[in-house]
C-alpha cells in the first residue's frame, strides 16, 4: 500500500487526471469559456495558453476562432511547444491574450508576470485563474501540495499587488469557491481517502490529518479559487 501512495505522489497530475477525467482546474470547460469571454477572446485573437496540459483550453479557444498556441514543460497538445512561464519562447508584443489556468502558483510569480507583460501587445489581456490562500494551509506532502496548486499559493491581495508591480491593471476578478468545492466533492466521490490511508499505518494517518485540515480550510473559505482578467500596461 505504501507503494501505491508513493506512485500517486510521484505523478500527482496523472493521478488527478485519472480521477477527474477532465480539465484539471475548478469549473472545468465552462469556467474556461467564461474567462475567455471576459478577456474578449474573439475570432483572430492571438492567444497563448501557458501550461496548456492536454490542450482542453486550446480547443475551447480555437472553437471560437482564436489563433491559439500552447506552452508546456511536457507538450502533448496540438500546436503546443516546450517552455515554461518564466522563459516564454515568444516574441515581444506578439500576443493578444495570455491564458494561465492554475499555473502561476507553481512558478516564480514576478518573473512569470514580467514575461507575460513582455509578450503582450499594448492593451493585451492576461486571463488567469488560480488557488488563493488566506493564512497558512495545513502541511501536505510536497507532491500533493503541488497537485492541488497549494505550492506557492498566495492571498488575493498579494496576487493583485504582484500584478500591479508587473504593470498590469486588473479589469475584473471573480471568486470560484463553489467550483472548488464541487471539484473537491468529485474527487471524494471517487477516492475513499480514509479507507485507503488507514491501510498504510502511521504515514497514512499523517496524510489523512493534513487532508482533514485542508477540508476545514476549504469549508471556511480560507482556501479558494479566483479568476482575474488584467490589461497589460493599463491598456483597455
**Is 101 assigned a catalytic role?**
yes
Residues in the chain, overall count: 236
CA 101 to chain centre: 4
Distance between CA 236 and CA 230 in Å, rounded? 9
Q: 193: Cβ–Cβ under 8 A, 6 or more apart, which residues?
A: 208, 211
Distance between CA 136 and CA 36 in Å, rounded? 31
- CA torsion through residues 160, 162, 164, 170, sign: negative
Active-site pick, 21, 30, 63, 101: 101
Name the residue with cell 475548478.
26
Give the closest residue to 81 by CA, choosing from 72, 91, 68, 93: 72
Distance between CA 7 and CA 109 in Å, rounded? 29
CA 138 to chain centre: 19
The region, left, alpha or beta by phi > 0 then psi within -120 to 50, assigned to residue 154 is beta
Which residues are annotated as catalytic?
101
Amino acid at each position: 500500500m505504501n507503494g501505491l501512495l508513493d506512485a500517486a505522489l510521484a505523478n500527482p497530475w496523472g493521478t488527478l487526471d485519472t480521477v477527474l477525467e477532465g480539465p484539471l482546474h475548478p469549473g472545468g470547460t465552462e469556467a474556461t469559456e467564461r474567462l475567455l469571454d471576459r478577456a474578449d477572446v474573439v475570432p483572430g485573437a492571438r492567444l497563448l495558453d501557458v501550461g496548456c496540459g492536454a490542450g482542453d483550453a486550446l480547443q475551447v479557444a480555437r472553437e471560437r476562432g482564436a489563433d491559439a498556441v500552447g506552452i508546456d514543460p511536457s507538450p502533448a497538445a496540438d500546436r503546443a511547444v516546450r517552455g515554461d512561464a518564466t522563459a516564454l519562447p515568444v516574441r515581444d508584443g506578439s500576443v493578444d491574450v495570455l491564458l494561465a489556468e492554475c499555473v502561476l502558483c507553481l512558478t516564480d510569480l514576478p518573473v512569470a508576470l514580467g514575461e507575460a507583460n513582455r509578450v503582450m501587445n499594448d492593451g493585451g489581456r492576461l486571463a488567469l485563474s488560480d488557488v488563493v490562500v488566506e493564512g497558512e494551509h495545513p502541511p501536505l506532502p510536497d507532491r500533493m501540495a503541488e497537485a492541488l496548486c497549494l505550492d506557492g499559493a498566495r492571498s488575493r491581495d498579494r496576487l493583485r499587488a504582484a500584478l500591479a508591480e508587473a504593470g498590469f491593471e486588473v479589469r475584473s476578478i471573480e471568486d470560484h469557491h463553489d467550483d472548488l468545492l464541487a471539484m473537491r466533492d468529485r474527487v471524494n466521490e471517487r477516492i475513499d481517502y480514509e479507507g485507503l490511508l488507514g491501510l498504510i499505518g502511521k504515514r497514512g494517518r499523517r496524510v489523512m490529518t493534513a487532508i482533514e485540515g485542508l477540508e476545514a480550510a476549504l469549508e471556511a473559505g480560507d482556501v479558494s479559487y479566483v479568476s482575474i482578467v488584467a490589461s497589460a500596461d493599463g491598456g483597455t
